[in-house]
Amino acid sequence: MRLLLGKVTKKMGVPDEVSVGTSKIMLTGNYRLILENHKGLIEYSTETVRIKTLDGTVRIEGSELLLDVMDSSTVAISGNVYCIFTAK
């Protein structure tokens, strides 16, 4: 079903993150990260943030990481972002 929905919405020009709930990561420089369509926070410290997504997990490593905003769909993190890892 998810595959069919993805094909139909792609032909209509609808972005994947809207149509099938795929996560979207936006990074500004190395100091601001916004992740859309998350499913919850797994781990949080000033050096590591792990977030659950529909696709698996996202791990952000850095220093002075600060959780600026977290609501039901969006997480915003500021600080010195060194690495972003994804895992299924």
Residue 34 has pLDDT above 80, yes or no: yes
pLDDT of res. 3: 59
User: Residue 77: inside a domain, yes or no?
Assistant: yes
Note down the domain range covering 35. 21-87
Q: Domain with 74 in it: what CATH number?
A: 2.60.40.2000
Kindly state the percentage of the chain with pLDDT values over 70.
77
Q: How many domains does the chain have?
A: 1
Helix, strand, coil % over all residues of the chain, rounded to 5: 15, 60, 25
User: Residue 10: inside a domain, yes or no?
Assistant: no
Distances (CA, A) of 41 to 18, 44, 78: 21, 7, 15
User: Residue 2: inside a domain, yes or no?
Assistant: no
Q: What is the pTM of this model?
A: 0.78
User: Residue 37: inside a domain, yes or no?
Assistant: yes
Q: Give mean pLDDT, residues 45-60.
A: 97
User: Residue 13: inside a domain, yes or no?
Assistant: no
